[in-house]
């Protein structure tokens, strides 16, 4: 990587210091000499400077970001190319990233977290309004300026919004990817909203909701699990904030806010309600959540009521049995009206009235007694039913807290899992959503983490043989990469677990397969060397001449790979010999020691002084003889002795 510090880029930007460096570019602090202001310059790494596809994406980033101008966005000022230096000039924000702040200070109180999110959403909403997705929202890309401003930056993954923007490969940091990006590789503004919800969860709890040793474990949880309520880790989190996180991170995009501006309205409303002390006492946060997911107990449903036009008295127990949704019976809210049969008129009128009154009285008492008993049995007694909540990826303590209303007999069972972090709940039996009675048995399966086993020996096998061996050992075939190597062509020479370290069962194991050795072209003529190199599929990036004591002039010395490892289509530098580096012995006899020494060293020779004179006299003492004759051809670096004796 070239060091640009002290250089003037674009005849305008003086590079002062390096701010950060990543896999594709380096960011420098510079001074815009034309406008006399500090700027940040993002420079493509030299090895990518000749990649036209990457340069096109880099320029697209500049054009995309330049469309946006907002107080909560890092603004883009300029883009250009200076020789081999391709650069992007941005607003310089003095401060730290949100990731640095979280590491140093930990999670934030609910109101402070919401205020932070509101500024981020304000910038993101401006991007969405301009038709641009960010696609990489995370604490590393949020800058906290020294003057208190919050800035969203790095639109390196940004692209225009469509109804279902296809991303090809998964992009963005895995911890913040929405389910639709994981499963279908498609994104829209609601995918950024999902990432904002994950970011809020992290601000409140200090950790990400889904964690794992491998990216695939985290991606699986995004696609198959619900983000837990922040209050499970941060008990002081208000219930309304839990709802906000659930709304923003709903698995189905249709259940989330349409874009950042919609979420921003609710965030600002919630901030105001929290400051007024009424967020958890009112229903102002009317989120569009799926009602089935919102119910945690069947008792939330309203009680059934007898039809006032009924022609007969219905037993309360029968009523409840006929309505599986009901768990309690409120006799005081029930009307019982009996329409008497005509044959009652055969009795004396007063006796008939007494019988009618008695029937009504007995029926009413029966309903009250049965209703009260059934209400107790199904509401708070042994027959009460409740819904098993989603417990996946919770700690045992958190899971048991969520089950407290059901009071089940919990049995803990340990088993391996490649998708759930060690120590967290994998699943329950009965599963989430099932109805169980109070005190019923419930099994919680706790993750031991992935089962670690040794990878099979794959060295020397071809890809087909290695694949069969991986599958039979409980692994998957990962990416197969081919590189030039000293091993025979077609052989596997490197892979995950080759050192014998156990790896998780089911892991996708990447293979490195040899393309054979890099062509040996030393000592042949340049034209033949070029033909041999191109025949292997390699590209020659440059041809340079160097001195060589062993290779004749015009013959090739060797190849220098421009990337490691070197794959098919990779670039190499071809070195051609200029022959040995020879210099002519100058005349030094009669010169002072100092003058002779300077003359010899100036042509590239080493000097040995044989004298009995003090060094302070070397400017006066003359050289009387030298070990080599004038005009002799000597190799650069050869040692010549001069003498004053």
Parallel, antiparallel, or unpaired for β 452-453 and 503-504? antiparallel
Is 136 one of the catalytic residues?
yes
Residue written as token pair 């340069």: 55
Alpha-carbon gap, residue 558 to 575, rounded angstroms: 6
Q: Quick one: pLDDT band at residue 138, thresholds 50, 70, 90?
A: very high
Buried b (16+ CB within 10 A) or exposed e, 71-96: ebbbbbbbbbebeebbbbbbbbbebe
Q: Is the pLDDT of residue 169 over 50?
A: no
Q: Are 328 and 373 in contact (CB under 8 A)?
A: no
Position 409 pLDDT exceeds 50: yes
Residue given tokens 């060091």 in the structure block: 3
- From 36, 78, 136, 280, active-site residue: 136
**How crowded is residue 274: how many other Cβ atoms within 10 Å of its Cβ?**
18
d(CA 281, CA 644) in angstroms, rounded, equals: 103
Q: Report the pLDDT value the prediction gives residue 287, as an integer from 0 to 100.
A: 54
What are the φ and ψ backbone dihedral angles of 215, each rounded to 5 degrees?
Answer: -60, -35
Own/partner pairs for 64-71, CB < 8 Å, 24+ apart? Answer: 64/132, 64/155, 64/158, 64/159, 64/160, 65/90, 65/155, 65/158, 67/130, 67/132, 68/126, 68/127, 68/130, 68/132, 68/155, 70/122, 70/123, 70/126, 71/122, 71/123, 71/149
**What phi and psi values does residue 643 have, to the nearest 5 degrees?**
-135, 145
Average confidence (pLDDT) over 615-638: 92
Q: Return phi, psi of residue 420, to 5°.
A: -115, 135
Proportion of the chain above pLDDT 70, given as a percent = 80
User: What is the pLDDT, as a whole number, of residue 328?
Assistant: 32
pLDDT in tens, 45-91: 877 766 777 777 777 767 777 778 888 998 888 888 888 888 889 98
Instruction: For 398-432, give the secondary structure using H, E and C.
Output: HHHHHCCCCCCEEEEEEECCCCCCCCEEEEEECCC
Q: How confident is the model at residue 313, as a pLDDT?
A: 32
Q: At what angle do helices 260-275 and 189-205 cross, to 10 degrees?
A: 30
> Do residues 444 and 428 touch, judged by C-beta distance below 8 A?
yes
pLDDT for the residue numbered 23: 67
How far is residue 361 from each of residues 313, 579, 602, measured CA to CA in Å?
A: 12, 122, 126
Per-chain mean pLDDT for the chain: 79
Handedness of CA 487, 493, 498, 499 (dihedral sign): positive
> What is residue 300's predicted lDDT score, i.e. its pLDDT?
34
Q: Which residues pair with 641 in a beta bridge?
A: 608
| Helix ranges, 30-132 (H) | 52-66, 98-105, 110-129
How sure is the predictor about 321, in pLDDT bands with cuts at 50, 70 and 90? very low
CA atoms within 13 A on the CB side of 637: 4
Per residue in 557-604, pLDDT (tens digit) is 988 898 888 888 889 999 999 988 899 999 999 999 999 999 999 999
DSSP state of 438: T
With a cut of 60, say whether residue 339 has pLDDT above it. Answer: no
> What domains can you pick out in the chain, each with its CATH number?
8-91 (3.30.200.20), 95-294 (1.10.510.10), 298-379 (no CATH), 389-447 (3.30.10.20), 452-514 (3.30.10.20), 526-577 (3.30.10.20), 582-643 (3.30.10.20)
pLDDT higher than threshold 60 for residue 35: yes
H helices of 143-231, in order, are: 179-184, 189-205, 215-224
Pairing mode of beta strands 476-483, 508-514: parallel
Q: How many CB atoms lie within 10 A of CB 520?
A: 12
Angstrom distance (rounded) from CA 395 to CA 401: 10
Return the pLDDT at 459.
Answer: 92
Place of tokens 């001074």: 31
In Å, how far from its chain's centre is CA 465? Answer: 34
d(CA 440, CA 407): 8
Question: What are the tens digits of pLDDT across the range 470-510?
Answer: 998 889 999 999 899 889 989 999 999 898 889 888 889 99
Token code pair at residue 197 = 């919800």
Ranges 244-248, 449-453, 630-634: which has the least confidence: 449-453
Half-sphere exposure at residue 254, Cβ-oriented, CA atoms within 13 angstroms? 1
pLDDT-derived band at 293, boundaries 50, 70, 90? very low
- Is the bond preceding 430 in cis, omega lying within 30 degrees of 0? yes
**Helix (H), strand (E), coil (C) string for 296-362:** CCHHHCCCCCCCCCCCCCCCHHHHHHHCCCCCCCCHHHCCCCCCCCHHHHHCCHHHHHHHHHHHHHH
Task: Return the half-sphere exposure (C-beta side, CA atoms, 13 A cut-off) of residue 160.
Answer: 4
Given a cut of 70, whether residue 511 has pLDDT beyond it is yes
Report phi then psi at 322, rounded to 5.
-80, -10
b/e per residue, 232-254, with b = 16+ CB within 10 A?
Answer: bbbeebbebbbbbbbbbbbbebe
- Secondary-structure percent of the chain, ordered helix, strand, coil, rounded to 5: 35, 25, 45
Give which of 628, 606, 626, 610 is closest to 618, Cα–Cα. 610
Residue 283's CB is within 10 A of a number of other CB atoms, namely: 6
Are the C-beta atoms of residues 211 and 421 closer than 8 Å to each other?
yes
Question: 19 phi and psi, to 5 degrees?
Answer: -95, -45
Quick one: which of 547, 615, 623 has its CA closest to 585?
623
Give DSSP secondary structure letters for 93-119: --EEEHHHHHHHH----HHHHHHHHHH
Phi, psi of 189 (to 5 degrees): -60, -30
Task: Tell me which residue of 436, 443, 444, 471 sits closest to 455, measured CA to CA.
Answer: 471
Dist. CA 37–CA 42, nearest whole Å: 16
Residue 286 has pLDDT above 80, yes or no: no
> How far apart (Å, rounded) are the C-alpha atoms in residues 177 and 227?
12
Residue 486: CA count within 13 A, CB half-sphere: 0
**Distance between CA atoms of residues 456 and 477, nearest Å:** 12
């Amino acid at each position: 990587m070239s060091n640009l510090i002290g250089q003037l880029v674009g005849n305008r930007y003086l590079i002062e210091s390096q701010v950060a460096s990543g896999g594709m570019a380096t960011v420098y602090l510079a001074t815009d000499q034309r406008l006399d202001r500090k700027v940040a310059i993002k420079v493509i790494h030299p090895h990518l400077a000749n990649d036209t596809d990457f340069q096109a994406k880099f320029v697209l980033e500049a054009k995309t970001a330049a469309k946006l101008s907002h107080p909560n966005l890092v603004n883009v000022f300029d883009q250009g190319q200076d020789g081999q230096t391709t650069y992007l000039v941005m607003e310089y924000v003095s401060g730290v990233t949100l990731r640095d702040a979280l590491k140093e200070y930990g999670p934030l109180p609910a109101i402070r977290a919401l205020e932070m999110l509101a500024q981020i959403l304000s910038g993101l909403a401006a991007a969405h309004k301009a038709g641009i997705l960010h696609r990489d929202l995370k604490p590393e890309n949020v800058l906290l300026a020294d003057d208190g401003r919050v800035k969203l930056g790095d639109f390196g993954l940004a692209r225009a919004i469509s109804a279902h923007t296809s991303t090809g490969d998964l992009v963005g940091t895995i911890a913040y990817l929405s389910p639709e990006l994981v499963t279908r590789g498609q994104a829209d503004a609601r995918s950024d909203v999902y990432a904002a919800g994950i970011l809020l969860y992290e601000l409140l709890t200090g950790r990400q909701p889904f964690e794992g040793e491998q990216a695939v474990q985290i991606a699986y949880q995004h696609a198959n699990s619900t983000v837990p309520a922040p209050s499970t880790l941060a008990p002081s989190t208000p219930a309304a904030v839990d709802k906000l996180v659930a709304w923003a991170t709903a698995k189905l995009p249709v259940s989330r806010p349409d874009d950042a501006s919609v979420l921003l309205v609710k965030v600002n409303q919630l901030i105001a309600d929290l400051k007024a002390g009424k967020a958890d006492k009112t229903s102002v946060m009317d989120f569009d959540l799926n009602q089935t997911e919102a119910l945690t107990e069947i008792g939330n449903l309203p009680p059934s009521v007898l039809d006032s036009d009924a022609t007969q008295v219905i037993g309360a127990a029968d009523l409840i049995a006929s309505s599986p949704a009901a768990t309690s019976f409120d006799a005081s809210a029930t009307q019982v009206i009996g329409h008497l049969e005509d044959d009652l008129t055969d009795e004396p009128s007063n006796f008939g009235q007494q019988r009618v009154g008695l029937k009504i009285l007995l029926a009413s008492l029966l309903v009250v007694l049965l209703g009260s008993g059934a209400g107790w049995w199904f509401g708070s007694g042994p027959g009460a039913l409740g819904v098993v909540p989603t417990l996946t990826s919770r700690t045992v303590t958190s899971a048991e807290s969520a089950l407290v209303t059901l009071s089940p007999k919990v049995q803990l069972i340990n088993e391996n899992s490649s998708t759930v972090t060690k120590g967290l709940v994998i699943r329950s039996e009965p599963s989430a959503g099932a109805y169980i009675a109070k005190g019923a048995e419930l099994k919680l399966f706790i993750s031991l983490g992935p089962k670690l086993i040794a990878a099979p020996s794959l060295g020397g096998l071809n890809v087909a043989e290695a694949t069969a061996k991986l599958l039979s050992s409980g692994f998957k075939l990962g990416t197969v990469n081919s590189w030039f190597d000293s091993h025979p062509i077609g052989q596997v020479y490197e892979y995950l677990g080759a050192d014998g370290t156990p790896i998780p069962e089911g892991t996708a194991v990447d293979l490195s397969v040899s393309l054979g050795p890099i062509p040996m072209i030393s000592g042949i003529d340049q034209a033949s060397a070029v033909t041999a190199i191109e025949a292997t599929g390699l590209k020659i990036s440059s041809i340079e001449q160097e001195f060589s004591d062993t290779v004749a002039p015009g013959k090739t010395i060797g190849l220098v790979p421009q990337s490691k490892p070197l794959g098919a289509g990779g670039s190499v530098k071809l070195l051609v010999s200029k022959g040995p580096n020879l210099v002519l012995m100058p005349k030094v006899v009669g010169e002072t020691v100092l003058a002779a020494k300077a003359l010899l060293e100036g042509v590239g020779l080493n000097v040995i002084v044989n004298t009995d004179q003090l060094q302070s006299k070397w400017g006066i003492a003359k050289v009387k003889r030298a070990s080599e004759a004038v005009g002799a051809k000597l190799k650069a670096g050869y040692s010549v002795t001069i003498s004053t004796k």
